[in-house]
Amino acid sequence: MADGPGVCDELGVQMLSFGFAQLTDQWATAPARPYWRLYWFAGPGARLEYGGARYDMRPNQVAILPPHTPIAQVLTGPVKILYLHWQLRPPFDHAEGWLEIIASRRVQPQARAVATEIGLNVFGTRLEPGPAIRMQSCVVSALSAVPDERWPQAVPDLRVAAAMEAMRARPGHDWSVPLLAAQAGLTANAFSRVFREHTGLPPMRYLRQRRLEAAARALIDTSDDLDLIAEHTGFCDRYHLSRWFSKQFTCGPASYRRRRR
């Protein structure tokens, strides 16, 4: 992926959360998260595991994980970790199924600088323009180092792209294939066919994924109860949400909320 001033706008980088914390306990296999993640470890002592591979992390490396990527971490000693969480706009929002370890002379100093600013509480609880730009620059630099074959192909059909963006922006809306098709100027059958050709998913399955992602973010970012989250994200009730949530993230909503990182 190319780097440059317009890349951040093209990707639609939206920062969700960040931190620089001391780790003393190892993770079990972490549930898949519905957002992008960057991890940088300030010293040796951590190993990431994914897909049968093991990566002993060093301070000159950064780990990038797309959404829905479960990993395990083993600690051999206390270590501080920088974590950045963010979203991207379609089609980059559904790249998944890999872990990229980046050893970059450009990314590592940026990660260290961001970690230092967080440690000094420069960012506070609200991202001011200057710190936000530095944090996003670190994210874009890391994403630019990801091999091109990792990325999904761009969605050339603007009608499909508009439908994807509408469902991502308003997951709780009462969407249907006929409604989305009418907005795209297509019949329901034609819309379903074109949508699947460009995304690999039927429209309603794509919508369910976006709704589950919105529910997962609400579990982390709010104290709303499950009934309210279900209502706001388009599920019939908390039981309907819990059933699909457990299938998607291999744990229930309550367990997911406890394991925030």
Angle CA 201–248–88, to nearest 5:
65
Reported as a single tens digit per residue, the pLDDT across 63-107 is: 999 988 888 888 888 889 999 988 887 777 767 789 999 988 889
Helix, strand or coil, per DSSP, at residue 209: helix
Token code pair at residue 35? 């957002």
Asked if residue 62 lies in contact with residue 111, where contact means CB atoms within 8 angstroms, the answer is yes
In the three-class reduction of DSSP (H, G, I as helix; E, B as strand; rest coil), residue 192 is classed as: helix
Residue 174 CA, chain-centre distance (Å), reads 24
What pLDDT, on the 0 to 100 scale, is given for residue 19? Answer: 85
Phi, psi of 239 (to 5 degrees): -75, -40
Domain boundaries, the chain: 7-150, 158-258
* CATH C-level class of 7-150: mainly beta
CA dihedral 13, 85, 233, 219 (to 10 degrees): -160
For the chain (length 261 residues), average pLDDT per consecutive 10? Answer: 54 82 68 83 91 92 89 86 86 79 88 85 58 86 90 76 90 96 94 90 92 88 92 95 88 80 46
Q: Do domains 7-150 and 158-258 have the same CATH topology?
A: no
Q: Could you tell me the fold of the domain covering 158-258?
A: Arc Repressor Mutant, subunit A (1.10.10)
Q: pTM for this structure?
A: 0.73
